[in-house]
């Protein structure tokens, strides 16, 4: 059974770069039919799609975040990663990684990791 697990620092200082990794287990990240994505949820608010990446490295980002987001994939480690630069308090959220079949919907989710932006 495919499982995803987010990891990374829980506290990031304002103006710095947030970095998270999602480890995929129980299956291969190298599929032409899936993309892998990041979704976040600020405290008390709704879900926000951040972006998606295929194992080939093709990326697709949410327009409002595009200038600050970078995603990458490491097929040798079965992992994909997220970087958000120049963070502010508004980037404080629970960050989820997910599997996205054909780029259309999220069918497997990680448990989420909380990231707080604070000095």
Interface residues toward other proteins, by CB under 8 A = 35, 37, 39, 46-49, 52, 60, 62-63, 96, 100, 103-107, 109-112
Find the shortest distance in angstroms from Cβ 34 to other proteins.
Answer: 11
Residue closer to other proteins (CB basis): 40 or 81: 40
Residue 66 is encoded by which pair of tokens?
A: 């595009």
Find the shortest distance in angstroms from Cβ 11 to other proteins.
Answer: 19
Measure the CA–CA gap between 103 and 56, rounded to whole angstroms: 14
Find the shortest distance in angstroms from Cβ 46 to other proteins.
Answer: 4
Residue closer to other proteins (CB basis): 45 or 119: 45
Residue closer to other proteins (CB basis): 16 or 112: 112
Q: Which residues of 71-105 are buried (b: 16+ CB within 10 A; e: fewer)?
A: bebeeeebbbbbebeebeeebbbbbbbbbbeeeee
């Amino acid at each position: 059974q495919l499982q995803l697990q987010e990891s990374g620092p829980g506290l990031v200082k304002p103006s710095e770069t947030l970095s998270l990794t999602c480890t995929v287990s129980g299956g291969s990240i190298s599929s032409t039919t899936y993309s892998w994505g990041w979704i976040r949820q600020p405290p008390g608010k709704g879900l926000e799609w951040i972006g998606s990446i295929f194992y080939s490295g093709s990326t697709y980002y949410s327009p409002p975040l595009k200038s600050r987001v970078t995603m990458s994939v490491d097929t040798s480690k079965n992992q994909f990663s997220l970087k958000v630069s120049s963070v502010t308090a508004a980037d404080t959220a629970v960050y989820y990684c997910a599997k996205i079949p054909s780029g259309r919907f999220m069918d497997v989710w990680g448990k989420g990791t909380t990231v707080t932006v604070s000095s």
